[in-house]
Amino acid sequence: MLTDAPPNGARSGQPAAGARRATITNVAEALGVSKGTVSRALNGYPDISDRTRQRVRQAAERMGYLPSAQAKAIRTGRVGAIGLVLQVGEPDAQRPFLADFLAGLTTAASAENCSLTIATAQDDSETRAALSRLIAERKADGFILPRTRLVDPRIDLLRAAGVPFVLFGRTGDPTGCAWFDLLGEDAMDEAVRRLHALGHRRIGYLGGGVGLAYNALRLAGYRRALASLGLPQAPALETHGGTTMETGAAGAARLMAQPDPPTALVCATDMGALGAHRWACEAGLTIGRDLSLIGYDGVPEGEWVAPPLTTFEVDNRAAGARLAALLLRRIRGEPAEALRETARARLCPRGSDGPPALDPTALARRLEFTAQGHHDTKGGRP
């Protein structure tokens, strides 16, 4: 018979000093179920009901039962870990949301008695080598792949090895791919429509990483909205690579150098938008009047600039949790095509977008005038 009190004064979930650790047989006998049921419940098999799974886990915790990782690996062919290789050599690799993402990932994995194996790499070649090593050493049962590309060699490697994986993003060839992704294309569509409603008719796109799937999707959403609203589309209104403040500033400078510059920029990343913000301020423009900006990511720095950045916020903790849950289901045999989820980013209106004070021709004159040093020190206006 089970009780809520731990034996001999031991803390909950811990065996008393000197006591033998509970076995799977003890847990099964206490609950009146088979050892197989206990094993399958603790390993998250879908044929075990949620109610039974919860009863088994609670009993195992009270009795201090901890399955042997080695025995589990021999019995199931799994090591009880999910893998993640972080490519830290990219200019924007140290993203502010990484801590929240990892917190969601580890919390969800721990709830399923699973650990997280993390490796780092500098570039694409090192990333593939790290994945191959972790597979060969059986350090993980499956992998989460962030920052997906339209053509992604990591996916080809894992497909060929027959190792389960889940994408944080989408890719060009979805065959055998499970994923969780944010609908960045819908956010860009919404951003264009918001700016159009404010009165903007020439809207530019400051894109993110070239070759990355998110950039292609967000560009498609931007173009979709322009076409729907009958707004002009042109190569001169699009630039890419705005993943840091420096590259964002350079991208904004290119977009604004034309004779009829955009009066608003939709930015695929917040860091690119913050670079555009800094460039515009240095060029003597008033953000939210002379030039409107909308970003994407919800990085904390967006709240610190003046005016604060209007952006689309992503719940990265929730994303990490969903990716862990989907990967564990994939590892247990569910088909990849049944494990594809998306969510929407949340618009955070702030002060960086508003009705245009100037048309494109007047804006070009303003930029030319201020470039010659003819703006006053109070408001940056001639």
Per-residue confidence band for 376, with pLDDT thresholds at 50, 70 and 90: very low
Residue-wise pLDDT for 230-274, tens only, equals: 999 999 999 999 999 999 999 999 999 999 999 999 999 999 999
- CATH homologous superfamily of domain 184-314+347-371? Response regulator (3.40.50.2300)
Give the residue carrying structure tokens 């290119």. 254
Per CATH, domain 81-183+316-346 is 3.40.50.2300:
yes
Dihedral in degrees, nearest 10, Cα atoms 330, 346, 189, 92: -70
Across the range 315-339, mean pLDDT stands at: 96
Kindly list the domain boundaries of the chain, sorted by start residue: 81-183+316-346, 184-314+347-371
Angle between helices 245-256 and 270-282 (to 10 degrees): 60
Give the residue carrying structure tokens 């508003």. 354
Per-residue confidence band for 66, with pLDDT thresholds at 50, 70 and 90: low
Q: Do domains 81-183+316-346 and 184-314+347-371 have the same CATH topology?
A: yes
Which residues are within 8 A (CB) of 326 and not within 5 positions of it... i.e. 6 or more apart? 166, 178, 179, 180, 339, 341
Per-residue confidence band for 373, with pLDDT thresholds at 50, 70 and 90: low
pLDDT of residue 51: 87
pLDDT of residue 374: 52
pLDDT of residue 9: 38
Q: What whole-number percentage of the chain has pLDDT above 90? A: 70
Given a cut of 90, is residue 49 above it in pLDDT?
no
Per-residue confidence band for 37, with pLDDT thresholds at 50, 70 and 90: confident
Residue-wise pLDDT for 298-313, tens only, equals: 999 999 999 999 999 9
Given a cut of 90, is residue 365 above it in pLDDT?
yes
